[in-house]
Amino acid sequence: MIAKHMKELTESGSAIRAMFEEGKKMARERGKDHVFDFSLGNPNTPPPEKIKEAAIAILQEEDPIRLHGYMSNVGYEEVRDQVAQNLNRRFGTALTREHLIMTVGAAGSLNIALKTIIEAGDEVLLLAPFFGEYIHYMQNYQGVPVIVAPDIPNFSLNLTDIESKITAKTKALIINSPNNPTGVIYPPADIERLAQLLRQKEKEYGHAIYLISDEPYREIVFDGAAVPFLPQYYDNTFVCYSYSKSLSLPGERIGYLLIAPTMDAFEEVAAAAAVAIRILGFVNAPSLMQQVIGRCADALSDMTVYKENKEILYRELTDMGYAMVEPQGAFYMFPQSPTADETVFCEAAKEYGILVVPGRTFACPGYFRLAFCVAKQTVQGALPGFKALMERFGH
């Protein structure tokens, strides 16, 4: 018999994944030109050519026993060196391989960070709207999610509510910028205020409060927006990074965990994280992909289509009357639903072949998420449907 909590999880499922499956089914039934699937953050731009070349070269050049064998749980040293150098060039930091663990995407990285610090009953602040998987990741370690109310309509950091939700049990806060689902980037002044608040609360409660920065969208920014590098603002920072989006490699499951050199008891935390990756069953990040990253640490996918899609959708949808914050980064937008119950809107959207995700999946009902990492034809093809939906539900 399966575990009770797994039974509940299996029955409730993931709304986003369910939509993705539904999209595939609709495409079979209606033909894929009549389905406009904005459900999943699956990049629709190929990885840079360099990735394929590197993978082929590695398979041809590297010693197969070393390449395919077990390794240090934290990953290849030379790969971590390359990643550290890439970060140092961009942020003027002095990171080394010691600060990095190669991981199975950001999901792996988040789980390692949480496993390292969370005891049963510890509270972790989640800033609504947020990536719904955080709740499950936290519950893996009997952490308690504490939801900070969204700052409507701007979706900036709700520092007042963050302050009111921090208690003696608060162990961490997860922050995600550029944000899924809003596309908001938190500006340096807000990050500075958050860091000050956390430092003050650390002092008050006499223990570390970790900032876990989930950054799969760091490089996807529009109009030159800058994303603050959190280890430069706050000592007890973990950065959970993924190459899923910047290099269009979500199926390859590759990312890293960065432990800020300034973290309290750094050596102890790093050693515990190295155990966590092993005992969570990841053991280490995929070896071929690690080596690819080592050779392509500076590469990026061509993201022109995201910018074009964002501009078309933002212009057209706002013209139709949809209210939203203009995304500054990532490849999502989070318009207000024209019906109070956004699940009604999302269901109705399917009639027009449009798949979008209800805001409650992100702990923010009344809104819906659109992932615009899709082909431009999908965006163009969906516009009449969005117009019809506004005419039907708008007032």
CB count within 10 Å of CB 101 equals 28
Select the span of 44-52, 218-226, 242-250, 284-292 touching ligand PLP (CB under 6 A).
242-250
Residue 176 CB, shortest distance to ligand PLP, in Å, is 5
Binding of ligand PLP by 250 (CB under 6 A): yes
Residue list 11-70, contact with ligand PLP (CB under 6 A)? 41
The number of helices, as runs of H, and strands, as runs of E, in the chain is 14, 12
Closer of 36 and 134 to ligand PLP (Cβ): 134
95 touches 87 (CB < 8 A): yes
Q: Nearest residue by C-beta to ligand PLP?
A: 105
Contact status: 132 vs ligand PLP (CB under 6 A): no
Going by their DSSP bridges, the two strands 210-214 and 170-176 should be labelled as parallel
Tokens representing residue 110 in the block: 């988040």
Among 182, 242, 248, 339, binds ligand PLP (CB under 6 A): 242
CB of 234 to ligand PLP, least distance (A): 19
User: From residue 4, how far is each of 10, 125, 139 by CA, in Å?
Assistant: 10, 25, 14
CA-CA distances (angstroms) from residue 74 to 29, 95, 187, 257?
A: 46, 15, 32, 9
Residue in 71, 74, 83, 106 binding ligand PLP, rule: CB under 6 A: 106
From residue 143 to residue 182, the character string flagging contacts with ligand PLP as x (rule: CB under 6 A) and all else as - is ---------------------------------x---x--
Select the residue interacting with ligand PLP from 132, 143, 255, 338 (CB under 6 A). 255
- Encoded tokens for 41: 């953050």
Among 107, 172, 263, 292, binds ligand PLP (CB under 6 A): 107
Q: Which stretch binds ligand PLP (CB under 6 A): 103-111, 156-164, 261-269, 298-306?
A: 103-111
- By the rule CB under 6 A, 105 interacts with ligand PLP: yes
Check residue 385 for interaction with ligand PLP (CB under 6 A): no
Among residues 287, 245, 238, which one has the least CA distance to residue 69? 287
Task: Between 45 and 244, name the residue whose CB sits nearer to ligand PLP.
Answer: 244
DSSP 338: S
Q: What tokens appear for 265 in the block? A: 């008891």
Per-residue b/e over 199-230, b at no fewer than 16 CB within 10 Å? eebbeeeeebbbbbbbbbbbbbbbeeeebbbb
Task: Please say which residue, 21 or 204, places its beta carbon nearer to ligand PLP.
Answer: 21
Q: Which is nearer to ligand PLP, 357 or 389 (CB)?
A: 357
- Minimum Å gap between C-beta 11 and ligand PLP is 23
Q: Token pair for residue 350?
A: 């399917």
Of 151 and 214, the one with the shorter C-beta distance to ligand PLP is: 214
User: Which stretches of the chain are DSSP H helices?
Assistant: 4-12, 15-30, 49-61, 64-68, 77-91, 105-117, 133-139, 159-165, 188-205, 266-279, 287-295, 304-320, 342-351, 376-393
- DSSP helix/strand/coil, 298: coil
Tell me whether residue 131 or residue 234 sits nearer to ligand PLP (CB atom). Answer: 131
Positions in 204-233 near ligand PLP (CB under 6 A): 214, 216
**Span of 93-101, 105-113, 259-267, 281-289 interacting with ligand PLP by CB under 6 A:** 105-113
Closest contact distance (angstroms) between CB of 244 and ligand PLP is 4
Q: How far is the CB of 16 from ligand PLP (least distance, A)?
A: 9
For the chain, what percentages of helix, strand and coil (3-state, to nearest 5) are there?
A: 45, 15, 40
Q: According to the binding rule CB under 6 A, does residue 131 interact with ligand PLP?
A: yes
Min dist CB 111 to ligand PLP, Å, is: 9
**Residues contacting 51, CB < 8 A, separation 6+:** 247, 249, 292, 296, 299
Rank residues 107 and 194 by Cβ distance to ligand PLP and give the closer one: 107
Residue type (1 letter), 16: I
User: Which chain residues interact with ligand PLP by CB under 6 A?
Assistant: 41, 105-107, 131, 176, 180, 214, 216, 242, 244, 250, 255
